[in-house]
Amino acid sequence: MGNKMNELISIIVPIYNVELCIKECIESIIHQTYRNLEIILVDDGSTDGCHGICDEYAAMDNRIVVVHKQNEGLVRARKSGLNKATADIICYVDGDDWIEPDMLEKMYTRMKDNQADVVICGRYEENGSNSKRTNHNFKSGLYDKPQLKSIIYPKMIEGGSFFTWGIMPNVWDKLYRRSLLEPFQMMVDDEIVMGEDAACVYPCLLNANSIYIMDECFYHYRQSGNSMIKADARRNDGELIRRLYFSVNDYFMELHNPYNICEQWLDYILFLMIPRMENTYKGLEDLPFLFPFPNVKKGDHIIIYGMGTYGHLLSKYVLKSGFCELVAVADQNYQALNQQGLSVIAPEKINTLQYDAIVIASSFAATRDSIYNSLGTFYPKEKIHVMDEELIRSKETLEAFGLYRK
């Protein structure tokens, strides 16, 4: 099939200051076994060498179209690419990622053979030398509209506990029929810098007549290095996440659907809010405890376990505010983190320290449970703390986050 001329597929690649990665990205696309491609490189005002690299590839491959524009952010870049695209089938690839050679061939085959509106694959999460295979939380296969309503939608955003993915929200591991995607991509607020994928993907899936989920992993998502959006806390995080919440929630409410989508969407928004609580929770430092750990009191000597986005932001907040005394940060990947210049200790070093509490900084239920059970075999369980889900969903918390509507 790879050499046959089938339907044209437009690949939209938003690019911003990823000079070290962009060649690998473009090479992975131009060498796809599926050849009938329109490759749209959207240079969003890059200040490094991306501008020239894009033009060089366009001169070598007549399937490549380059859009040079002023820097307006990821959402506008994707919209610009979609406006330029001419195909009826759309795929996104971020400029610092890359894809397997047969990704589009395999995904297009599933779409064509099953007349699916969206095809979804798994991904490899790349972090330096570590590559983690990750799938969506549903069995592979075709889901028609009745099956979407009964199986997918009730757990589409959140798979049951805080927080477990159903279908992950990224736009880039999916192949779409343009007629379905376009109105929802254009609906996304240009100012959103967190959750912009979810604001497009979930409304899109709700309106699909059929979805095909694949077990195969074709997309390589680069978690380290430069990217269009850096995970960090900003002063206007609360405002932007609330804007995201209400704009999409209002759309979900208009659908009057029975799939508890609004409750799932709220949990997703809380998932974004909690790590960034310093700039999203009103009255945070007036609390007598470290939110959302009600048994970790102000002034306690704590060890934070986990140095993902949540642990990174929580440790920065504790150090900056002095709310608690940070004794250490521990993580099982301490060696790789130390190589990145971060001061992180091995879990077994905890027993050499004096502390009041070990705080597990993970938003994911399965990870929290695993860490809690593992640490609980070596350290007193009464000193190990996980986030309180009841507290997270309480009226007081929703009011503090500005999410409560009377």
Q: What is the pLDDT of residues 168-182, one digit of tens each?
A: 999 999 999 999 999
Q: 300: which DSSP letter?
A: -
The yes/no answer on whether domain 283-390 falls in CATH 3.40.50.720 is: yes
Rg of the chain taking only CA atoms, in angstroms? 22
The answer to whether 290 and 317 are in contact (CB under 8 A) is: no
Output the pTM of the full model: 0.93
Higher confidence at residue 17 or residue 405? 17
pLDDT at res. 127: 82
The answer to whether 223 and 126 are in contact (CB under 8 A) is: yes
Whole-number Cα distances in Å, 181 to 159, 178, 201, 242, 249 = 23, 5, 8, 24, 18
Q: What is the pLDDT of residues 91-139, one digit of tens each?
A: 999 999 999 999 999 999 999 999 999 999 999 999 877 899 999 999 9
Characterize 14-27 residue by residue with b for buried, 16 or more Cβ atoms within 10 angstroms of its Cβ, and e for exposed.
bbbbbbebbbebbe
Mean pLDDT value of segment 336-343: 87
Residues of the chain with CATH 3.90.550.10: 9-231
Identify the band that residue 225 occupies on the pLDDT scale cut at 50, 70 and 90: very low
Q: What is the pLDDT of residues 30-44, one digit of tens each?
A: 999 999 999 999 999
pLDDT at res. 224: 60
Asked if residue 387 has pLDDT above 80, the reply is yes
Residues of the chain with CATH 3.40.50.720: 283-390
Mean pLDDT value of segment 316-325: 96
- Rounded Cα–Cα distance for residues 277 and 274 (Å): 5
pLDDT at res. 123: 98
Q: Chain-wide mean pLDDT for the chain?
A: 94
pLDDT at res. 190: 93
CATH superfamily of 9-231: Spore Coat Polysaccharide Biosynthesis Protein SpsA; Chain A (3.90.550.10)
Mean pLDDT value of segment 183-187: 97
pLDDT at res. 339: 86
